[in-house]
Each structure stands twice: as structure tokens, then as C-alpha cells.
Amino acid sequence: MAQQSCASEVKIGVVADWPPLTAVDERGAYGLDVEIARKVFSELNICPRFLRLPTSARSLDQLGKGAVDVLLMVSYVQERAELGVFSDPYRWEKMRLFSLRQPRMAMDLKALLRLGYRIGLSIGSYYGEELKNLADNPDFGHLLVGISGSTQRVEMLAKKRVDFIIEDEILGRFMGRKLGIKNFYIWDYPVHNNQVHFLLRKGLFDAAQLARFNGVIKRLRPDIDKLVEHYTHHTVPRGAH
């Protein structure tokens, strides 16, 4: 098959340990948001070059320094808008609590923290204002434990070193299957529902190019929705049969 000839190339930062959303191994980058990026940039005749990055915080740092051109799956936060330009949103992200204990009704984050439960989080990720305010509260901040990778967060939960973790719903379900954890429960409590975007390096696109980019996202939304549905219910660990 002939290699695609591209008008230009972009460097896309990929967090290495968020399967099945973004991941990198010896065969390259893969996952839901990587597939979406390939679809969008292919429509623009731009070749993506995916660069492995360890955490969301490092990704933002690299974008600010101009080492990468694009980040995937970024929630809108005003501070991040100072680092780059947000595209239109391309899918919804649903952050949920996972635990080894059966969910109880009417238990919110503050109630769990008041009981002394420890919650594992991704370093540098944004989980909404509720959690941000709790992290700033000296009574609760020490119970929110930053853990760099999704595999590590799930393993910390399995070893009972934290009582809960917060993950994207798709990622959490996938990791529970991949690691074969028994009694792995997802709570209905909506920690944070928000739309995610591409975050583009300032100066990457002019106004007309950005409008075209957003138009491609809009046109591809039915295809993106189908991909999201597939990854939510049908993904298996890479290499499994």
C-alpha cells in the first residue's frame, strides 16, 4: 500500500498510559483518541507524528515550549487556553469513581473524603471544579493521591493502597478487564462530565485553517460517535485474541 503523501506534518503529544484512549508501545501510538486524530488530520492532508509523553502535566509543558503541536483529549480550562488554541469539542468524557466496594447511593466526593477514604488521581488532569475545590481544602487535599499511569492507579486500588480511583469511564472499564480485577465497581456518581478538544500550539493554524479544522470535526462527528461506542463496549487489551 502506498504511503500517504501529506502537505505537512504535525507533532502530536500522546500520553503513553491511558489505554484504550491513548497509549504507545513498540508498534507506535494507538487508542480511541489516536484514531480520531488520524481521521481528522487525514481529511486535512496532514500527517500526524505521535510523540510519547508520560503524563498530562508533561504534555502541557511540552506544548507550551513548542516541542509538540497538538494535544489530544484536553478539557477546557482557562489556564490551558493561555498555552494554545482549543478546537471545537469532538467527544464527551465521563469521569467516574471506581472501587473494590459496591457503590452506595447518595455518596458524593466530599462525603467519601470526610470518611477518610483515599482517592487516586491522574497527575495534571482536570476533574472539574468540585474536585479542584476539595483538593484546595486542607482537610481533604492529603487524601487525593496523584498517581502517574492508569495501570499504576488500578494496581494501587487492587492492592488497597487507595480506596477509590477516578478514571474516564471507558479507560476504567478497559483496565478492569485487562488486569482481571474481581469486584471492580463503577459508581454512577458523575464526578465530571465534559467535552474534550484538541489543544493546538499557538500559530499552528491561521483563522481560516482553524475554521476548516473545526468543520472536519463537525463532519466526522457521526464516525467519531461510532468509535466512542465501540471503545466503550467492545475493546479488549491490545494483542489479546
Peptide bond into 20 cis (omega under 30): yes
Query: Does the pLDDT at position 240 exceed 50?
Result: no
For residue 241, tell me if it sits in a domain. Answer: no
Residue 181 confidence (pLDDT): 85
Please write the tens of the pLDDT for every residue from 60-105.
999 999 999 999 999 998 999 999 999 999 999 999 999 998 887 7
Query: Does the pLDDT at position 236 exceed 60?
Result: no
Residues 131, 159 share a domain:
yes
CATH number at residue 47: 3.40.190.10
The pTM for the full model equals: 0.83
Sign (positive/negative) of CA torsion 55, 59, 61, 67? positive
Strand partners, 196: 75, 91
User: pLDDT tier at 4 (50, 70, 90 boundaries)?
Assistant: low
Residues 152, 138 share a domain:
yes
For residue 3, tell me if it sits in a domain. Answer: no
Please write the tens of the pLDDT for every residue from 174-184.
888 888 888 89
| Cell numbers that stand for 18 in this block | 491511558
Give, in order, the Cα–Cα distances in Å from 134 to each of 17, 55, 108, 130.
26, 22, 12, 6
| Cell numbers that stand for 42 in this block | 487525514
Residue 241 confidence (pLDDT): 28
